[in-house]
Amino acid sequence: MAEIIETKMPPMPAKSDMGSDIINSVNTSAIAEYLPLGILVCHITPANIVETLFINEFACNIFHLTNKIVLPCSLETICHANDSQVLASQIQEVYRSKTQSNFEWSIQPGQSTERYLNSELIPLKNSNGEVFQVICTIEDHTAEKLAERNLLHHAFHDALTGQPNRVLFRNKLEEAVANCQRAGNTDGCAVLIINIDRFQQINGSFGHSAGDRFLISMASTLRRCIKSNDTLARLSGDEFAILVSQFDALEEVEAISKQIHATMEQPYDLDGNEVFISVSIGISSTISSSTHPEDLIRDADFAMHRAKHAGKSRTEIYRHEPHRQARSQFHLETELRRAVERRELELYYQPIVDMKTGELRSFEGLTRWIHKDKGFVAPNDFIPLAEETGVIVKLGQWALMEACQQAKVWINAVGEDRAVPINVNVSGIQFARDDVASMIENALEKTDVPGKFIRVELTESAIMANPTLIAESLTRIRNLGVKVALDDFGTGYSSLNYLHQFPIDIIKIDRSFINQLEIGNQPYKILEMIGVLSESLGHDLVVEGLEDLEQVIMLRDMGFPYAQGYFYSKPVNSAAATKIVLGPLPWGTVPEIAPENVPEIKQEAAPKTAPGTP
C-alpha cells in the first residue's frame, strides 16, 4: 500500500463557500477514503502541467501504487506515461469547456493485466466561474469487461476447439466477398466444407470424451494445412469449414484439399490406439458459384455431400447442373407428396400371358404419374425418390387398395372363374416401416376380395435389407391366400439361397437376360438351369421384357410357361385392362414354327422402368 505524504496541498473548500473568507471545517480527505471508488483531485499549474493534489486508497489500489507518494505530484507518478497522457488530455478539456465529462480508458500498471476504468471528471469553479480543480472519480470495470469479452468470444467461437464458429465464419466470409467484389475479377475467395467420414464410429468405439479430444486434434491438423490469413471454423459436430480469403486460381484451393487428404493418411493416436480417418470435402468459390455468403456455404455443403455419396474420402467442386437437378428433385418430391394425397396417380396394368395358350393369367399393377405440367413422369424418376423420402409407404398403400378395388370390379363383371389376379409391388422400405401383412389383410376385408386375386412382388434387394422381418411378413401374407413373386430374379447376390429360405411362389426373370438371349449363349444356358430348378421346387416362372416374336417362340420352346412384355401389351389404364378381361384378347396364340422361320418384326422398344416399380 502506498504511503501518501501531503505537503503543500491546500484544503478542499466547501462548495457553498468557495471564494469566501469563511472555511467550513470538513475533513474531506477522511470522507473520500470511505467511498467505494477511486478519487483523484487534480489541477493545472501555471506551467500547464497536470498535477495530482489528492488520491484516496481505493485509487492507489487500482493503480497498484506501493511506494511513497509525495503530493502534489505529476500524473506520471500515478500511472504509466501513455495512460497519464489520456487522463491529462481529458482534464485539460474540462478546464477548457468548464463542463463535466465522462470517459472510459484503460491502464496496464506494471506487469499486471490490463484494467478497464470508467471516470467522471467534475470541475470545481471559483466565484468567477473559473475552474481551479478537477475531481476525477475512477470505477474499475475490469471484471465486467472481461466477462463481456468472454461472452463475446463464446458467441463467436467454438467452445471445444476454440476455433471461430458459424457466425464468425459467415462474418469473415462477408468481408472476403466484399473485398473480392472491390478487386473485380482478379481475385476470388473460396469455402471448403470438411466432414469427417465415419466419425460416429469413434464416439461409439472410444466414447464421446475421446471423440472430443479427436476433434481438438483434428482442428490443429487442419489449421496447419492453411495460411495464416485463411480462416478455420467448426460448423457442427463433425464438420469444419475453411475460408480461403483470396486466391488467383482455383488450383490453389484444390491444393489445400489435397494436402488435407494427404495429412489424413497418417494415423491419430487416440488413447494409445491408432485411428485412421478420412474426410469428404466440398468446395465452392466466387468463381464457380454465387457471390452471396450463404449461397457459398450452401453450395460447398452440397458438393461435400456429393463427395460422400461418391464414396467418401474425396473432394468435389460445386457445379451448377447437379445442384439444379437436386433442386428439381426437391420440387418433384413435394409434388409427389401432393399427388399421393390428392390421388392424382393412376394404376396401369400389364398383362401376364400363358405362352402356350395365349390366355391371360394375371396383371402387374404399375403406378403411372401424369403430371399436370410436365406430362408423363418416368417411374425411374419418382419411384427411387419415393423410396428415399418415405413417400413409398403411402404410395404402396394406395396401389394395394387400388388393385383390390379393381379386382373387385372384375369379379363382379365376369365372376371369380374368369377374373385374374393383380400383382402389386411392395418396396423393401414399406416392409421396414409398415406392417405389410396387416395392410393387405385390411385391404382385402374392406373390398371383400379373396386373397388369391392379389399377389405381392418384391425384389431381392428388399429381402436383403431385412431377411428375418420379411420372412415373417411373407409367411403371414401367404396365410391370407396371397401368392408371393420374386421380381428381377438373377440381378441380386443370393438368389438361389432365397428360393428355399423364403415363402416364394413365383419367380420373375429379369429382362436383362432376355435382351442378350441367343440360342446356346450363356444367358440361354442360365435360363435353362433356372427353368429346371424352379420346376423342381414347384415355382411358377414369368419372363419379363418380351418384345418380339422370336423371343416368345424361343422361350416357349425352352419350356417357360408365362411371359410379360410389349409383345403382348404395354401397360394400359383401368378401362383398357377391363376390355382385355372381358375379351376378346388383343393378341393371338403364337404359331408352332421354328425360330429360324420367324419373319423379322419391328416394334417400338419398351421404355425402361425402375426395378420393382409399383
pLDDT digits (tens, 9 = 90+) for 351-371: 999 999 999 999 999 999 888
Q: How confident is the model at residue 9 (pLDDT cuts 50, 70, 90)?
A: very low
Mark which of 123, 145, 167 sits at the end of a domain: 145
CB 293 within 8 A of CB 231: no
* Burial per residue of 396-417, b for 16 or more beta-carbon CB atoms within 10 angstroms, e otherwise: bbbbbbbbbebbbebbeeeeee
Mark which of 93, 113, 145 sits at the end of a domain: 145
Between 492 and 587, name the one with better pLDDT: 587
The reported pLDDT for the residue numbered 600 is 42
Q: N- to C-terminal Cα distance for the chain? A: 89
The reported pLDDT for the residue numbered 415 is 95
The CATH number of whichever domain residue 592 belongs to comes to 3.20.20.450
* Residue 512 CB neighbours (<10 A): 15
CB 363 within 8 A of CB 351: yes
Residues 305 and 335 in one domain: no
Residues 164 and 135 in one domain: no
Residues 587 and 454 in one domain: yes
CB 507 within 8 A of CB 540: yes
Domain count, the chain: 3
Residues 252 and 340 in one domain: no
- The HSE-up count of residue 443 (CA atoms within 13 Å, CB side) is 27
Domain limits for position 72: 4-145
pLDDT in tens, 63-75: 888 777 888 898 8
Determine, yes or no, domain membership for 208: yes
The reported pLDDT for the residue numbered 161 is 94
pTM over 0.85: no
Which residues have C-beta within 8 Å of that of residue 406, sequence separation ≥ 6?
347, 349, 365, 422, 574, 577
Determine, yes or no, domain membership for 150: no
Residues 427 and 450 in one domain: yes
Closest among 174, 308, 195, 290 to 243, alpha carbons compared: 174
Determine, yes or no, domain membership for 152: no
Residues 301 and 429 in one domain: no
The reported pLDDT for the residue numbered 614 is 37
The reported pLDDT for the residue numbered 590 is 64
Q: How confident is the model at residue 8 (pLDDT cuts 50, 70, 90)?
A: very low
**Distance of alpha carbon 294 from alpha carbon 395, whole angstroms:** 36
Residues 170 and 31 in one domain: no
Average pLDDT over residues 172-185: 85
The reported pLDDT for the residue numbered 242 is 96
Sheet with 188-196, strands from edge to edge, namely: 231-236, 239-247, 188-196, 279-285, 315-317
Amino acid (one-letter) located at 503: P
Radius of gyration of the chain (CA): 42
The CATH number of whichever domain residue 125 belongs to comes to 3.30.450.20
> Residue 122 pLDDT more than 60?
yes
> Residue 90 pLDDT more than 80?
yes
Between 453 and 594, name the one with better pLDDT: 453
Determine, yes or no, domain membership for 31: yes
Residues 414 and 494 in one domain: yes
**Distance of alpha carbon 439 from alpha carbon 443, whole angstroms:** 6
Per-residue three-class SS string for 254-322? HHHHHHHHHHHCCCEEECCEEECCCEEEEEEECCCCCCCHHHHHHHHHHHHHHHHHCCCCCEEECCHHH
DSSP class per residue in 519-558: TTSHHHHHHHHHHHHHHHHT-EEEEE---SHHHHHHHHHT
Amino acid (one-letter) located at 294: E
The CATH number of whichever domain residue 243 belongs to comes to 3.30.70.270
Q: How confident is the model at residue 501 (pLDDT cuts 50, 70, 90)?
A: confident
**Distance of alpha carbon 351 from alpha carbon 577, whole angstroms:** 8
Residues 366 and 504 in one domain: yes
The reported pLDDT for the residue numbered 466 is 81
Mark which of 89, 120, 145 sits at the end of a domain: 145
Average pLDDT over residues 212-238: 93
What percentage of the chain has pLDDT greater than the value 90?
Answer: 48
Determine, yes or no, domain membership for 613: no
Residues 137 and 200 in one domain: no
The reported pLDDT for the residue numbered 512 is 83
**Distance of alpha carbon 368 from alpha carbon 347, whole angstroms:** 6
Determine, yes or no, domain membership for 314: yes
Determine, yes or no, domain membership for 543: yes
Residues 288 and 344 in one domain: no
> Residue 22 pLDDT more than 50?
no
Residues 126 and 227 in one domain: no
User: Could you tell me the three cell numbers for 142?
Assistant: 475490469
> Residue 275 pLDDT more than 70?
yes
CB 609 within 8 A of CB 366: yes
Q: How far from 93 is each of 82, 90, 96, 412, CA to CA, in Å? A: 17, 5, 5, 104
pLDDT in tens, 301-330: 999 999 999 999 999 998 877 767 767 777
Cα–chain center distance at 44: 66
Determine, yes or no, domain membership for 206: yes
Q: How confident is the model at residue 598 (pLDDT cuts 50, 70, 90)?
A: very low
